Structure 1
Amino acid sequence: MTPDPQPFFVLVRPQMGENIGAAARAMWNFGLDRMRIVAPRDGWPNQKAVAMASGAGRLLDEARLCGDTAEALSDCTYVFATTARQRGLTKPVFSPEAAMRHAVEKIQAGQKVAVLFGPERSGLENDDIARANAIISVPVNPDFPSLNLAQCVLLTAYEWRRQTADITHETTDLARTEWAEQIEIEKLADHYEDRLGQAGFFFPDEKAEGMKLNLRNLWSRMPLTRADVQMLHGVLRQMVRWKDRG
């Protein structure tokens, strides 16, 4: 498992083994492996959890089983509680993104951070939330605010990953080719300009220079690969051959 500093994810009184397994899988998707389980309804270990965890079963093997929330948080210095409902408790409320950004700062300062997730049917009780320093509230549809346990774990784990990993937000799969160099695009433009000129495309004469300029600008706006350039050359050559055959 990763030695990187990270928060503990604490599942409080989870009801279904399948949801515990799905939560483990969601954690491991984003590089988290510190799970604590408080008083699971169906006992522990749980074979349904193991089956659902799939490749993340090691998280369950190493999960710490606790009798109550206080035990699970005994060595932690800062605690977030996830809840979708107003609880009448005065606490700072963070979005998942802001919460995990705050968690990174706390952990980098040497603190131990935990995130509480409540049971599937009712969520965390006020007694659990009272032990937390802050609340995580997911901006869900107010007419349907209930999140599955594993979904909530996944959202929070994703935001942790966003704050800590070097993420490429946009890239292009070049599929065994590479971007065309400027000289290649220049030759492509020359090829089209020459053939279109022979075909009488640049008409009338007073508009010809403007049309050529627009065509050059078109090529420069297109993110062409070498494969694209070769294909476009081939298209034009084939059209000329077809014309000559006719």
Structure 2
Amino acid sequence: MRFSLILVAPARPENVGAAARAMKTMGFEELRIVESQAHLDPAARRVAHGAGEILDKATQWPSLAAALEDIDFSIATTARSRAKFRYYATPQQVESQLAEKQQWLGSAALVFGREDTGLTNEELELVDLLTGIPMAADYPSLNLGQAVMVYCYQLSALRQVTAAQATPADGQQLAALRQRVNLLVARLEVSDDQKLVDWLDQRLGLLQQRDTAMLHRLLHDIEKKLIDKNA
């Protein structure tokens, strides 16, 4: 599985350098930068200290949506205090999810938000799974470089695992399921139930391949029944 780290609008070059250093230390290579050129600042290279090639190869993107276009499965880090989003995976749970999904998905990305405000609600809605780092207190919080290091360390074991080749990667299966669920919710006229919509949107990212396939079959049967009923 190809794995990318995405930094959205980082403001401090030192944080980008620290993130690159954490990536290099733990075996990650692909860095995507959204709406920022902080990685080009000399301060970023000073802090990167031996991870300059990650900064050199970092790609720039105009928006998070653009950076995720070729990604099959995405995870975003966010503070647990955001009222709209109630379901979070711990770093350990993220590792378990990716360990399963690397058997059938071709690419994944971990998204980090702005140092001061994090990711917007609109940006959080673009990803498949939300995660947060449990902490004993709300303050002091982890800075960007520290947060990247926590996740790189937790996920580093995945770099040592060779994905099984028995099942071909199907990166569109999850996206198709999400679209199918949204259409069914609209058809049943329950899209105004925000708690239900949020629960569905955030729980779909936790499904394993077998569960995804079974839910596709169930939705097919429901859709067929609705067509027969309205015929």
Q: TM-score range, shorter-chain basis? A: 0.5 to 0.7
Residue by residue over 1:85-132, the C-alpha shift from the partner in whole angstroms, topping out at 9 and shown as x without a partner, is 333445742100110221222222133111110111121111211111
Cα 1:7/1:137, change in 2 over 3 Å: same
Cα 1:125/1:90, change in 2 over 3 Å: closer
The unaligned stretches of length 5 or more in structure 1 are 167-246
1:20 matched to 2:12: no
Q: Identify the match of residue 120 of structure 2 among 121, 125, 137.
A: 125
Q: Identify the match of residue 77 of structure 2 among 74, 78, 82.
A: 82
Partner of 2:5: 9
Partners of 1:154 and 1:8 lie apart in 2 by 14
Bigger Cα Rg: 1
Residue correspondence of structure 1 range 26-175 to structure 2 within 5 A: 26-40=22-36, 43=38, 45-90=40-85, 92-144=87-139, 146-165=141-160
Cα 1:105/1:95, change in 2 over 3 Å: same
Q: Is the 8 A contact 1:91 1:133 kept in 2?
A: no
Partners of 2:39 and 2:25 lie apart in 1 by 23
Residue by residue over 1:46-79, the C-alpha shift from the partner in whole angstroms, topping out at 9 and shown as x without a partner, is 2111111111110011111111111111111211
Deviation at 1:6, TM superposition (A): 4.1
| Percent of aligned positions that are identical | 34
Cα 1:51/1:102, change in 2 over 3 Å: same
Structure 1 counterpart of 2:71, one-letter code: C
Partners of 2:20 and 2:4 lie apart in 1 by 12
Structure 2 counterpart of 1:39, one-letter code: E
Partners of 1:100 and 1:69 lie apart in 2 by 22
Cα 1:106/1:91, change in 2 over 3 Å: farther
Q: TM-score, normalised by structure 1?
A: 0.61
Q: Is the 8 A contact 2:12 2:38 kept in 1?
A: no
Deviation at 1:29, TM superposition (A): 0.7
By relative contact order (CA 8 Å, sep 6+), the higher-ranking structure is 2
Partners of 1:91 and 1:104 lie apart in 2 by 23
Q: Is the 8 A contact 2:38 2:44 kept in 1?
A: no
The unaligned stretches of length 5 or more in structure 2 are 162-231
Cα 1:13/1:85, change in 2 over 3 Å: same
Partners of 1:165 and 1:54 lie apart in 2 by 24
Partners of 2:126 and 2:67 lie apart in 1 by 11
Over the aligned positions, Cα root-mean-square deviation in angstroms equals 1.9
**Aligned pairs, how many?**
161
Q: Is the 8 A contact 1:101 1:163 kept in 2?
A: no
